[in-house]
Amino acid sequence: MAYSSINPSDGTILKTFEELTDRELETKLAVAATCFAAWRLKTYAERGVIVARAAALMREQAEALARTMTLEMGKRISEARGEVGFSADILDYYARNAERFLAPQKLHPAIGEAHMESSPIGVIFGVEPWNFPYYQLARVAGPHLMAGNVLMVKHAACVPQCAIAFEALWTEAGAPPGLYTNLLISHEQSDTVIDDPRIKGVALTGSVPAGRSIAARAGRNLKPSSMELGGSDAFIVLEDADLDHTVPWAVWGRMYNAGQTCCAAKRFIVVEPLADAFLERFGAALRVLKAGDPLDEATTLGPLSSEPALLQLLDQVGRAVSEGARLVMGGRRIDRPGCYMEPTILTGVEPTNPAFRDEFFGPVAMVFRVKDEDAAIALANDSDFGLGGSVFTRDIARGKRVASRVETGMMFVNNISWSDAELPFGGIKDSGFGRELGDMGIQEFVNKKLVRYTDVSAPA
């Protein structure tokens, strides 16, 4: 695997990097294991100093970090700044709250007393994707470092400069050697890392095939893992929805990060009385988006992350149409340098069409018409994925009832606002297992130990 930094807005190769040799990898594993032996003994306050300092540095260096992200994977600069800020917020959140989340929990047995206590388990190996180059790292680094573990991360091959920049933050923040280690390694070396007895847990955010492979390897080694995989989230529009409120969320939900978000709105399920009006207004809003340099504040449509990503999406759309889907708009590459695709809407996608169960990782929306609320829920649940979803209605109580019936890890009523460090993030079915963020995110890789005690003078 080559680690290459390529600007997707014009195809320019920015920089390439060599993979680690096996000897270099072994050295880094040894340093991380040595670091854990000391880091696990630090107090939460001592750990928090380092983690909070890394957050402060992210804010101080926000413009440079955002620019690197935009150049490397094409995220529009305003979105890139937002990601840097949210990543810093996550680090601060765990620096403040880790001790409370992991405090001993008193139990009440019939005889004597007992409590549960939490302790770190060791070196955690993370495998992270390119679409959120800092956020994905922060949401494993914040909780797991504050829990007393140390972290080694294999980031995506197309964002090496972001990966290196994030590691440098920890060094500058005063982290001991081995606390956070970026690994420029191959897939084969990644398997070696998972197999290594010094690695005690594995966290992946990525595709379903990657999840199956890495979860299986972790399982063979009897190591805990968390898997945040793909999604095909339903965006349900009930007949009483306010379209002035709903359509802007639909555009944001599908087009944020050029549609390259696991929990993006991907299947728009609209109850019949509003279907025509929604489709017309949604399409009109997508048509005004303008492709341009993602470093330009005026750009409203950025590129996809890479040429292979663009070609895959174009092929998916082509196959969907060949199998009977109707192309309402878009579907083509934009005639300009870089990896740009027209915003695209498909309708008439039947269950026999491969697109019905596909995940479109880019600016492609499928719109479905249904007769009523029950049909909307049934269609939302007819998916191999179960990451997130949303429902739009003027009746909040109704929205909550619908949310409870949709089979996902997350549901949102009249919004798709998942960007809060306090909200656990994760899914079910092919979207994976485990949770990140919130108080649940820090529990994934700690030993929950029962301690029971009685007075020696108490009767047996």
282-334 tens-digit pLDDT: 999 999 999 999 999 999 999 999 999 999 999 999 999 999 999 999 999 99
Q: What are phi and psi of 280, to 5 degrees?
A: -65, -50
CB 146 within 8 A of CB 442: yes
pLDDT value, residue 458: 59
- Return all residues near 201 (Cβ < 8 A) that are at least 6 apart: 121, 122, 124, 125, 149, 218, 223, 224, 225, 444, 445
Question: What's the CATH number for 233-413?
Answer: 3.40.309.10
Give every strand in the sheet of 123-127, ordered side by side: 180-182, 150-154, 123-127, 199-205, 225-228, 432-433
| Residue range 134-145: mean pLDDT, rounded | 98
The residue annotated as part of the active site, out of 35, 162, 262, 263, is 262
Q: Do 316 and 355 contact (CB within 8 A), yes or no?
A: yes
Per-domain boundaries in the chain: 3-229+431-451, 233-413
Architecture of the CATH domain 3-229+431-451:
3-Layer(aba) Sandwich (3.40)
The token duo for 10 is 């014009």
Confidence label for 418 from pLDDT (cuts 50, 70 and 90): confident
141-160 per-position pLDDT tens digit: 999 999 999 999 999 999 99
Rg, Å, the chain Cα set:
23
CA 121 – CA 50 distance, rounded (Å): 20
Catalytic residue among 72, 83, 128, 228: 228
The whole-angstrom separation of Cα 364 and Cα 439 is: 34
Which has the closest alpha carbon to 247: 273, 271, 283, 276? 283
Quick one: which of 266, 227, 254, 185 has its CA closest to 20?
A: 185
Cα 150 from Cα 181, distance rounded (Å): 9
Do the Cβ atoms of 287 and 301 come closer than 8 Å? no
Encode pLDDT of 41-69 as tens digits.
Answer: 999 999 999 999 999 999 999 999 999 99
> For residue range 380-398, what is the model confidence (pLDDT) as tens digits?
999 999 999 999 999 999 9
Distances (CA, A) of 323 to 267, 318, 352, 353, 382: 18, 9, 8, 6, 19
Number of CB atoms found within 10 A of residue 13's CB: 9
Helix %, strand %, coil % of the chain (to 5): 40, 20, 35
pLDDT per position as a tens digit, 267-278: 999 999 999 999
Reduced 3-state DSSP string for 116-148:
EEEEECCEEEEECCCCCCCHHHHHHHHHHHHCC
Q: Would you state the structure tokens that stand for residue 230, as one six-digit string?
A: 């793909």
Amino acid at 118: S
Contacts of 220 (CB under 8 A, 6+ apart): none
Supply the mean pLDDT for the chain.
97
Q: Which of 147, 93, 145 is nearest to 118 (CA)?
A: 147
How do residues 348-383 score in pLDDT, each as one tens digit?
Answer: 999 999 999 999 999 999 999 999 999 999 999 999
Burial 317-339 (b: 16+ CB within 10 A, else e): beebbeeebebbbbbeebeeebb
Is residue 228 part of the annotated active site? The answer reads yes
What letter does residue 18 receive in the DSSP assignment?
P
Q: Same topology for domains 3-229+431-451 and 233-413, yes or no? A: no
pLDDT higher than 60, residue 166: yes
- Give the confidence band of 459 by pLDDT, cuts at 50, 70, 90: low
171: confidence class by pLDDT, cuts 50, 70, 90:
very high
pTM of the entire structure? 0.96
CB 392 within 8 A of CB 236: yes
Q: Which strand (E) or helix (H) includes residue 14?
A: strand 13-17
* Per-residue pLDDT at 233: 98
444 band by pLDDT with thresholds 50, 70 and 90: very high
Q: Is the pLDDT of residue 86 over 70?
A: yes
pLDDT at position 419 is 82
